[in-house]
Amino acid sequence: MKTYLENKKGVTFVELIVAMVILGIISTITYQFLWQNQFVVYNKGTTKSQTQQMTRATIDAIVNEIRTAREVELINPAQVKSVEEIIAENEADNADYRYLFLNQDYQIEYRSAEGSRLLPGVPTEILFDVNFQVERKERNDFYRFFLSVDLMGIMRDYQYEVDTEVQLLNIFSGSAIHNAFSEDNKTETKKALRINMQGNLLPGLGPDPNLPDAEWLDFIDSVFVFGSQLHFAGSNIIGLESTMFITGGVNSSNFNGGSNINVSNILIDGNANMINVNSSIGSSSSPGNIVINGNYINGTGQRNIYGTVYINGDFDLGQAWVHGDVYVNGDFIISTDRSFNNFLNGTNGHIYYTGNISVPSYFNTSHSNFPATKVDTVPIMAIPAHGIPQLRDASWYEQNNYVSSGLLESNMKIYASSYTSTAWRPSASNVVIVAEGDITITGIGSSSLSGVLFSRNGRVTFGGSSFTGTVIAKNGFYVTSGGTDVTFKSVGDFFSNVEDYPFE
């Protein structure tokens, strides 16, 4: 039996063309819809990432500019002076005024006697809003001062907010904050700052008739290592937000070749000869000022220098990398072989020098990005001229339960002509040892020690796993054991009242 289709007509060529056209239109619309949505998602992700990155970079740049200010005034952007006016007020006040402010284009602008620039040179399509506020915090009957920065970055339809608080390391009195504090110890918020970077880095050590005792004690509370010598065979010296003051020079022969001096503020009253070591100096996370009253010489081997550096002498950069501006009241030298690109990439700041320049002959000193400039003058930070603190009367130590001898153990308080412990002892904490002469603590192996070691006319020698605390010694601090870590802990962390400090 045969079956026949009643309609034997197939699909015509015209119908096939129409169907193909319709399918093409649908495919095009579908592709464009999917591609556009994919682009929107990608664009939003890029906007978010870029806004976060640039906002964090900007707030880091702000912190680096203000951390070591000597004076701070919160103002309105309309009060910001022109470059010409800044030059005039610097001369009139013997100051170094700089302004950070939110400009009319909603960018964070930095202005000084040298001109204006954006921080940190972010794309102008990212807009900002900023608020500054200073807070004073009481501790042991005196104040410390902190600047709060609240920054919002805005790009297209995305905004990102970040805030931080930075201690003003070189401000010890409310008179250096030119704003009124409310009952909660905070100033009114503003969108601009005037800061003064001129003047001594820190007040003098010891009682000064022009400084209240509270201000001197505030400085003492930030001192980490203080003495005429530093001999360090250990691994790391860690002193964030603290000061290391060496009243004599430093020499690479006194250091472990790979040790790091991770201290925010470093003062060296003498030459710094770091030729034969790869020791990095300064704090990468909390950079401050490095002041060298003499020549500063580096050699081969990459090492890092963090913070703003002031050198009252010649500067041989060697193969070091710098992360901050360097002011050289003398010659700028590179006496070791290094490539020109390595020099450019390793100089994250600018070097200003008053003397001559001596660099490898293949360096292109006319390069547009050459990071060194000869100037007539540079700012010079003064080294404090006072001596170390004084011992209290012997009767005071007796009244405060100090003993003249004893085995090294936790919570001990020693006052003696000298102190020596060379046998193994278990770890000890909250130790206070005060001596007219030397303090020697060695042979404790893997044990650690924390406390305050004060040698008025001798030196402190330590050999152990780690030391945490403060060392003040006229003739220096000697760490004899390899692998030792030394970490800053304020004198104020060991005493509840300043009246209990074992010196005056």
Q: Does residue 425 lie within any of the structural domains? A: no
- CA–CA gap between residue 66 and residue 129 (Å, rounded): 18
Structurally, the chain folds into a number of domains equal to 1
Instruction: With cut-offs at 50, 70 and 90, classify the pLDDT of residue 140.
Output: very low
Q: Does residue 388 lie within any of the structural domains? A: no
Helix (H) or strand (E) holding 340: helix 340-345
- CA–CA gap between residue 218 and residue 202 (Å, rounded): 11
Bridge partners, residue 190, by sequence: 132
Q: Write the CB contacts of 34 (distance below 8 Å, at least 6 apart in sequence).
A: none
- CA–CA gap between residue 397 and residue 434 (Å, rounded): 9
- CA–CA gap between residue 412 and residue 400 (Å, rounded): 12
The answer on pLDDT for 396 being more than 70 is yes
| Cα Rg, the chain, nearest whole Å | 31
Percentage of the chain exceeding pLDDT 70: 84
The answer on pLDDT for 385 being more than 80 is no
Q: Does residue 93 lie within any of the structural domains? A: yes
What integer pLDDT is reported at residue 201 of this predicted model? 40
Q: Does residue 147 lie within any of the structural domains? A: yes
- CA–CA gap between residue 460 and residue 446 (Å, rounded): 19
What integer pLDDT is reported at residue 23 of this predicted model? 80
| C-alpha separations of 338 from 67, 155, 321 in Å | 32, 41, 11
Q: In which domain, by residue range, is 122 found? A: 47-196
Structure-token match 């001369």, residue found: 91
What integer pLDDT is reported at residue 209 of this predicted model? 37
Q: Does residue 471 lie within any of the structural domains? A: no
Tokens matching residue 464: 């152990």
pLDDT digit string (tens) for 399-426? 999 999 999 999 999 999 999 999 999 9
Tokens matching residue 8: 């034997």
The answer on pLDDT for 160 being more than 50 is yes
Instruction: With cut-offs at 50, 70 and 90, classify the pLDDT of residue 9.
Output: low
Global model pTM greater than 0.75:
no
Bridge partners, residue 373, by sequence: 352
Q: Give the up-direction half-sphere exposure of residue 359: CA atoms within 13 A in the CB hemisphere.
A: 18
Q: Does residue 154 lie within any of the structural domains? A: yes
- CA–CA gap between residue 426 and residue 408 (Å, rounded): 8
- For the chain, the distance separating the N- and C-terminal CA atoms, rounded to the nearest angstrom, is 125
Q: Does residue 335 lie within any of the structural domains? A: no
Beta strands in 278-412 (DSSP E): 289-292, 296-298, 304-306, 308-311, 315-316, 321-323, 326-328, 332-333, 351-353, 357-358, 372-374
Tokens matching residue 216: 């001197």
Q: Does residue 94 lie within any of the structural domains? A: yes
Contact indicator for 371, 357 with CB cutoff of 8 Å: no
Quick one: average pLDDT of 299-328?
Answer: 91
Bridge partners, residue 333, by sequence: 316, 358
Task: Note the Cα 73 to chain centre separation in Å.
Answer: 21
What integer pLDDT is reported at residue 349 of this predicted model? 87
pLDDT digit string (tens) for 250-297? 887 787 767 788 898 888 889 999 887 777 889 988 888 898 999 999
Helical residues (DSSP H) of 245-393, grouped into ranges: 340-345
| C-alpha separations of 322 from 243, 272, 304, 383 in Å | 19, 16, 6, 22
Residue 504 CB-density burial (10 A; 0-12 exposed, 13-18 middle, 19+ buried): middle
Residue (of 169, 167, 129, 166) closest to 150 by Cα position: 129
